[in-house]
Amino acid sequence: MLAEPPQGNHSYPEANESCRFDEEFKYILLPVSYSLVFIIGLALNSVALWMFLFRMRPWSASAVYMFHLALSDTLYVLSLPTLIYYYANRSHWPFGVGLCKAVRFLFYVNLYCSILFLTCISVHRYLGICHPIRSRAVLKPRHAHLTCGLVWTVVTICLVPNLIFVTTSVRDNDTLCHDTTLPEDFEQYVNYCSAVMVLLFGIPFLVIMVCYCLMAWALCQPRRGLSSNQKGAASHMKSIKLIVVVLVVFAICFVPFHITRTLYYTYRVLNAQCAMLNIVNFAYKITRPLASINSCIDPILYFLAGDHYRSKLLQAINWRRQATKRSTNGTLPQPAINNNIALSQTNPYFRAAEDH
C-alpha cells in the first residue's frame, strides 16, 4: 500500500511534481466497504470461532487450520473501526503512531496468514486425496498445530520491518497514518515488499495451483474400491468445493491486490507519466477493500468444505430454535446430541462410526 495522500486533488513530488490525483472517491469507498467487512466478517468469524471451540472438538487437522484462519480474520476485522474513522474523517489519524503501526501490521498479518493457512488446507486435502495411505502418519492434528505455529512465526518475522517502515506524519493540521513509509525510504520499502510478496504470496500460490491441478486429475479418474462408496464421493465433493472457494478467494482478494500494488509501486519508482499513474492509482485503491473481503469469504469455506462444520452448525441452529420454542411453552429443551450420546454408549458400531 502507499502513503496516505492529501485530500482531494494532490500531487506526489517524489513521483511526478506536476501529477495531481483526485481521490475523493476513497473517502466514500473505503469507509463503506470496511464497514461492511467489519459487520459481516465479525459476525461470520465469531460464529466460526464459537463452532470450533465449543462444537467441533476434538479437532481434525483441517479444523485446526480453519480455526487459525478464523482467528486471523477476527483479529483483522477488529482493527477496522479505526480505519473506518480515519477515512471517514478524511485521512486524519488521532490514535497515535503505535496504533497506526499495529493496524497496518494486522492487515498484512491477516493477508499473508490467510494465504498460508489456505495453502496448508489445500496441501492437506491434496495429500488426503492423492496419497491417502502414505500421508496418514503426517495428517494428524498435532502436526497441524505445529504447522500453524510455524505460519504465525514466519509471518510475524517477515513483517517486523513493516513496523519500522510505517509511521505517521503531519500535513496541514491533519495527522496521516502512512501504510508505506516516508518518501525518502520508499524505494527500500518497495524492495522489501517485493521480497515478502514472492515468499508469502508467489510461492504459496504456485503450490496451491500445483496441488489443485493434481487433485483435479485424481478426482477425474474412475473411483475404485473404498473410494467408490458414499463416503468417498462426499470427500471428493468437499474437495471440489474447496478448490472452487479457494480459487475464488485468490481471484477476488489476493491476485488483484498484489498485481495493482506492484504496478503502482513500480510506476512510482520509475516516475511514470501522470496519466498512467492516475489509472494505476485508481485501480490499486479499488483492490484495497477487495483484499479485506477474504475475511467474509473464508467462513464459506468452513461451511462448504469443513469436516462436519455444516452439520454441527445446523444442529446448533435447530437446537436453539427448539430451545426458544420450548421456553415459550414452559418446558426445558433437551439437546439433540443427547440421543447420539446414549446411542453411542449402547451401540459399539455407532460409536466407532462417530469416532471415524
Pick from 3-17, 113-127, 237-251, 254-268: least confident: 3-17
pTM score of the predicted model = 0.84
Q: Domain coordinates of the chain in residue numbers?
A: 25-219+235-312
pLDDT at 183: 83
Q: What is the mean pLDDT of residues 202-211?
A: 97
Mean pLDDT of 213-229: 72
Q: What pLDDT is recorded for position 163?
A: 94
Closest listed residue to residue 76, CA positions, set 102, 48, 100: 102
Highest mean pLDDT among 87-91, 156-160, 285-289: 156-160
- How far apart CA 356 and CA 27 sit, in angstroms, is 52
Phi–psi pair at 295, nearest 5 degrees? -65, -20
**323-340 pLDDT, tens digit each:** 777 777 765 555 544 444
pLDDT tens column, 230-249: 556 677 788 888 999 999 99
Longest dimension (CA), the chain: 81
Cβ atoms of 87 and 31 within 8 Å: the answer is yes
What's the whole-number mean pLDDT along residues 194-210?
97
Can you state the angle between helices 186-197 and 141-165, rounded to 10 degrees? 170
Q: Is the peptide bond before 58 cis (omega within 30 degrees of 0)?
A: yes
pLDDT score recorded for residue 6: 39
Q: Give the whole-angstrom CA distance, residue 56 versus residue 177.
A: 40
Residue 348 grid cell: 459399539
> Going along the chain, which residue ranges are E strands?
9-12, 16-22, 168-171, 174-177
Vertex 172 angle, CA 168 and 178, to 5°: 20
Looking at residue 104, its pLDDT comes to 95
How would residue 64 be classed by pLDDT, with cut points 50, 70 and 90? very high
* Unique residue bearing C-alpha cell 480453519: 66
- Please compute the mean of the pLDDT values over residues 245-268 and round it to a whole number: 95
Closest by Cα among 87, 229, 69 to 155: 69
Q: For the structural domain made of 25-219+235-312, what CATH number should be given?
A: 1.20.1070.10
Question: What distance, in Å, lies between the first and last C-alpha atoms of the chain?
Answer: 46
Region of poorest pLDDT, from 82-86, 240-244, 349-353: 349-353
**Residue range 135-148, pLDDT digits in tens:** 888 889 999 999 99
**Residues paired with residue 16 on neighbouring β-strands, in sequence order:** 12
Average pLDDT, the chain: 84
